[in-house]
Homo-oligomer: A and B are copies of this chain.
Amino acid sequence: MRLSRFYLPLLKETPSEAQIASHQLMLRAGMVRQESAGIYAWLPLGYRVLKKIEQIVREEQNRAGAVEMLMPTIQSAELWRESGRYEAYGKEMLRIKDRADREMLFGPTNEEMITEIFRAGVRSYKDLPKMLYHIQWKFRDEVRPRFGVMRGREFLMKDTYSFDADQAGARNSYNKMFVAYLRTFARMGLTSIPMRADTGPIGGDLSHEFIILADTGESAVFCDRKLLELDAPGADTDFDSDLQPMIDRYTSYYAATEEKHDAAEFDKAVAESDRISARGIEVGHIFYFGDKYSKPMKAVVTGADGKDRPVEMGSYGVGVSRLVGAIIEAYHDDAGCKWPAPVAPFHVGLINLKVGDAAADEASIRAYAALEDAGVEVLYDDTPARPGEKFARMDLIGLPHQLIIGPRGLAAGKVEVKRRADGHRDEIALGAAIDMLKRDVASALKV
């Protein structure tokens, strides 16, 4: 992408309403623009990150055997009366009347709708298990939207729903999502910690939050340091095998959010040097809730014994738009973002130090074409801005690699490659730089 054709409206000043780094940087780097309180437009740079995160979430859902679909944003109030949640949900639900005065709402989650869809299509235990998911915009009318996309009102969520004939099957589905989530966040460069959690308005007996440690996190969390050292499950994980041993390995260490924290147990179970009391950002939440929805909504399946029983369900959410902020909280410095390659808006920022200089233009265009042909995504700064402005801009948007090409270097047979993560620089020949970038990007994207 040529920067001259892209739309990248950077802000010079840090907007005063932004209190945390991710919110500040997303506004400054032209990733989002607030359109109303807690409602953001995703500008091209931010949109690319959002899509990368969404795609990783999708791939790991598919790997775990979940099937994608898409439910609408607008739901009927009637459906929520069936489960009893319409009145209970409170003011966070955005309630709407259509032109025929029917009561509607902008979905904050989809347990009711998926249960309705399931009961219309499935009758027998033979059709189970099923896992269905969608990635759709939700709305929660927060009293006080804040921290940018971390706690917005309109937000993108991946929600999966599992349907099983019995509790053992439901546990199996729960385990698949548990493992899928560990993989999902690890692929984005995040160390997620599954923590015992409250079930809140979703209900149910078994629930884990997936937490990223960050000073700006909204919740207090407590865990064993050893959890941070566990490797995420590999891409070769067989989701049809028994995943319980893998789950046990994670849940054998103490980890709990504030609501579930037990100080005495914490002290007993964790050596003092391994006790982490920190702040955390919730990026995923999984629930097993049995027949909480299937019973009132009469979603039953006929078992092997010929008897009908409510289907056993679970639901599993990932905060896709929130993750954009969470990743910035984990990866930034004073100069800007430092994107891990798998979620970076582009892999390489190509800086032509002197647009109009024949040698610099020729070398830049050659590098641009060679990298794009190899599947490396390049943002080519072909604007007439001064070098200092170009450097600051590239550092701010935080692409993993910068390729810096100018007349003076070319005269000496050199270009410069800068790694944004640690500032490491190489001065090498153009061909070698292209090869190195291709190799580094391909290796960073390997799943």
How many residues does chain A have at the interface if contact means C-beta atoms less than 8 Å apart?
52
Please measure, in the bound complex, the distance between the C-alpha atom of A372 and the C-alpha atom of B43, giving whole angstroms.
35
Q: Is residue A99 within 8 Å, beta carbon to beta carbon, of the partner chain? A: yes
| Residue in B1, B39, B68, B113 whose CB lies within 8 Å of A72 | B39
Known interface pairs A36-B75, A71-B35, A96-B94. Does A113 touch B5 (Cβ–Cβ under 8 Å)?
no
- A7, A44, A67, A72 interface centre (most CB from chain B within 10 Å): A72
Stretch from A116-124, A241-249, A260-268, A412-420 that touches the partner: A116-124
Does B5 contact A40, Cβ atoms closer than 8 Å? no
Does B36 contact A76, Cβ atoms closer than 8 Å? yes
Please measure, in the bound complex, the distance between the C-alpha atom of A43 and the C-alpha atom of B1, giving whole angstroms.
35
Q: Which residues A51-77 have CB closer than 8 A to chain B?
A: 65, 67-76
Please measure, in the bound complex, the distance between the C-alpha atom of A296 and the C-alpha atom of B92, giving whole angstroms.
35
- Residue interface mask A124-159, B partner, CB < 8 A = 1: 000000101000010101010000000001100000
Please measure, in the bound complex, the distance between the C-alpha atom of A33 and the C-alpha atom of B96, giving whole angstroms.
22
- Which residues of the other chain, B, contact A30 by a CB distance below 8 angstroms? 121
Q: Is residue A42 within 8 Å, beta carbon to beta carbon, of the partner chain? A: yes
Please measure, in the bound complex, the distance between the C-alpha atom of A154 and the C-alpha atom of B70, giving whole angstroms.
12
Does B44 contact A132, Cβ atoms closer than 8 Å? yes
Q: Is residue A41 within 8 Å, beta carbon to beta carbon, of the partner chain? A: yes
Q: Is residue A391 within 8 Å, beta carbon to beta carbon, of the partner chain? A: no
Q: Is residue A106 within 8 Å, beta carbon to beta carbon, of the partner chain? A: yes
- Which residues of the other chain, B, contact A121 by a CB distance below 8 angstroms? 7, 9, 30
Please measure, in the bound complex, the distance between the C-alpha atom of A1 and the C-alpha atom of B66, giving whole angstroms.
11
12 CB contacts below 8 A, A to B, read A36-B75, A40-B72, A42-B69, A44-B67, A44-B69, A47-B68, A72-B154, A73-B154, A74-B139, A94-B96, A96-B106, A137-B137
Pairs of residues from A and B, 6 with the lowest C-beta to C-beta distance, nearest first: A9-B121, A42-B70, A41-B71, A36-B76, A91-B99, A99-B141
Q: Which residues of A contact B (CB under 8 A)?
A: 1, 5-7, 9, 30, 33, 35-36, 39-44, 47, 50, 65, 67-76, 79, 91-92, 94, 96, 98-99, 102, 104, 106, 113, 116-117, 120-122, 130, 132, 137, 139, 141, 143, 153-154
